[in-house]
Amino acid sequence: MRRFPSLCLAALVSLAPGHVPSLRAAEPAPAASPATITLPAIGEEVPLSRIKEICAFYGLHDLWSKIERDPPPHPFKSDGCTGWVNEWKGVSIYPAGFLHDLKYWAGYPARTSSASSRTPSS
């Protein structure tokens, strides 16, 4: 069996299905967003600058636009999953309660069809 030089092997790999070589000069990679975010504690007052970060992390751009245009008159604090647990089978569901509280504080109805207001199914 004849061995391909590593350069030839690299060329073959670059022609594999799904691999599209770039013809442009390399561009700097965009700044990576954090993989996780630490939410403020239950009952902690959250400043607008922190709310903006949280909305950006979760992709809630419309929510932030609404808050920025017309901020509620009182500060935001989350009480977690009111009247329920903040953990389900070892998994924290506090983020869902926090986002629900944030949307309600911003003027959205108490019941929404968003993922943040659903309970886990398992």
**Which pLDDT tens digit goes with each residue over 31-71?**
556 689 999 999 999 999 999 999 999 999 999 999 999 99
Total structural domains within the chain: 1
Query: What domain range includes position 98?
Result: 38-112
SS3 label, residue 112: coil
pTM over 0.85: no
Residue 43 lies in a domain: yes
Residue 67 lies in a domain: yes
Residue 63 lies in a domain: yes
Residue 118 lies in a domain: no
Higher pLDDT: 23 or 28? It is 28
Q: Of 32-36, 40-44, 104-108, 118-122, where does mean pLDDT reach its minimum? A: 118-122
Residue 30 lies in a domain: no
How would you write 48-79 as a 3-class SS string? HHHHHHHHHHHCCHHHHHHHHHCCCCCCECCC
Residue 8: partners with Cβ closer than 8 Å, 6 or more residues away: none
Residue position matching structure tokens 């903006």: 52
Query: What is residue 85's predicted lDDT score, i.e. its pLDDT?
Result: 76
Confidence of residue 87 (pLDDT cuts 50, 70, 90): confident
Strands 91-92 and 87-88: antiparallel
Sign of the CA dihedral with 93 first, then 98, 103, and 107 last: positive
